[in-house]
Amino acid sequence: MINVSYEFDQAILPVGSLLKTNILIRFRADIAESPRRNLNLSLVIDRSGSMGGAPLYHALKAADSVVEQLKPEDILSVVVYDDVVDTVVPPQPVTDKAALKNSIHAVSAGGLTNLSGGWLKGCEYVKKQLDPQKVNRVLLLTDGHANMGIQDSKILTATSGQKAEEGVITTTLGFGQSFNEDLLIGMARAANGNFYFIQSIDEASEVFSIELDSLRAVVGQNLNVTLELADGVRLVNALSLAKVSQNDVGQTAIALGELYEGEDKLLGLSLEILRSVVGDLPVMKLHYSADVVENDVIQSVSGTTDIIAKVGTVEEAAFASTSHIILELSRLTIAKAKETALEEAEQGRHQEAEQILRALVNDLRNQGLNENFEIAEEIEQLEYFSGQIAQKALSNAGRKELRDQSYQTMTRNRSDLVGRGVTVGSEITFFSMMMLHYKRDRSAQAIGNIKGLYSPT
């Protein structure tokens, strides 16, 4: 079954009219501990000329680490591509790891980038071995832009969604600074897969391990939510990158994708309530469905949760503290603002993009959230990037950083993904990097390191 819980940014909403509020909804698969699911996996690796040398070495080393972590019950194929698509390892059980690694080690760099050809071959292999009891996944890694085969991002993104409907999910991994992040994120979003920004080549094995661990932890798929709003309630914004659509009766439908063991799937919603009176206020009926692991097999489950807000006097609302929810919602709001600002800037509306980020900074400060360490760091970055956007000087690395941070915050809820994609260099200050190090480690040692850097020797 699926456990659904929710909290408003105010535990008690103030009575009145035209009330704006935010709600954080959590979904978690409630299952007994069971063996992790087997994998049907295809690694699709870019071996074009730009991958020559260290990048390809580390990519193949990461593929080695994947082989080492797989089990005989898993199915693996490995495809490499430049202007030619080659099958290094045809689909097979992982029974002879040494032979698989030898095949991978024989790969060398080549010419152009037929991303579509390599990816579609990987999809073909996964489809041939498709097993609903397994996690069926293509891992697509590239360091550049598609310049052969199908190059249209809209076609590739739409096809990724179609493959997902057939049961083949795609995770994309961008290597270095030259890949097309819009394409890779678009493909991952369309498929409800994952996306990773591998900025440093020696991070490849770590990122592959994170993804492999995530795949082993998949306990639910195809989580879909429908919002049946009460009269007088309007959805202002969904704080999510999930696919949002309208069903036949005009209700908002949101596809949230996979559920992971021990990890909440978060959905933030901004709502407007026309009027309220003291007491319990029905806000919506939340209908959900998903395919989850129960008794070691995949079963379809569904249910409905009534979302009710407590409404009180202005005084009661003022004393009802929900600071932890405000912080979590703020992270989602910041991520959504980054995504929206980038979209505005891409359309040439740089002033509007700047205003989105600066208005959010003012709002966060007015709420006193700048006193929180993590939000204070976010404010520093928002101010920096708003200035870069206003001057039309946002670099390629900065754009990738913003898109990656936004994606990870709104799609996953894992501590080891917090802060991924932050650029060492001109995009942020040295002090910000040390603050990020502290945020990741949360340790006294990190604090000592920071102090030591500014202490006389």
Structure confidence at residue 145 (pLDDT): 83
Q: Per CATH, the architecture of 2-28+221-318 is what?
A: Sandwich (2.60)
Helices (H) and strands (E) in the chain, counts: 13, 16
Domain ranges of the chain: 2-28+221-318, 39-216, 323-453
Structure confidence at residue 415 (pLDDT): 61
Structure confidence at residue 111 (pLDDT): 85
The answer to whether 144 and 50 have CB atoms below 8 angstroms apart is yes
C-alpha–C-alpha distance, residues 256 and 275, integer Å = 30
Structure confidence at residue 16 (pLDDT): 86
Q: What is the CATH number of domain 39-216?
A: 3.40.50.410
**Cβ count within 10 A of residue 348:** 10
Residue listed under structure tokens 């920004």? 197
C-alpha–C-alpha distance, residues 214 and 135, integer Å = 10
- Say which amino acid occupies 414: R
- Say which amino acid occupies 19: L
Fold agreement (2-28+221-318, 39-216): no
Structure confidence at residue 18 (pLDDT): 87
Structure confidence at residue 433 (pLDDT): 43
* DSSP H or E stretch at residue 80: strand 75-81
Structure confidence at residue 416 (pLDDT): 61
Structure confidence at residue 449 (pLDDT): 39
- Say which amino acid occupies 101: K
From first to last of the 457 residues of the chain, give the pLDDT tens digit.
Answer: 899 999 999 899 999 888 999 999 999 988 766 667 899 999 999 999 888 888 888 899 999 999 999 999 999 999 999 999 999 999 999 999 999 999 999 999 888 889 999 999 999 999 999 998 899 999 999 987 888 889 999 999 999 999 999 999 999 999 888 889 999 999 999 998 999 998 877 788 888 888 998 898 888 889 999 999 999 999 999 988 888 889 999 999 999 988 988 889 999 999 999 988 899 999 999 999 999 887 777 889 999 999 999 999 988 888 876 667 888 999 999 999 999 999 999 999 999 999 999 999 999 999 899 998 989 999 999 999 999 999 999 988 889 888 988 888 888 776 666 555 443 334 444 434 444 444 444 434 433 433 333 333 3
Structure confidence at residue 35 (pLDDT): 67
C-alpha–C-alpha distance, residues 237 and 224, integer Å = 17
404 contacts: CB under 8 Å, gap ≥ 6:
181, 195, 196, 197, 420, 421
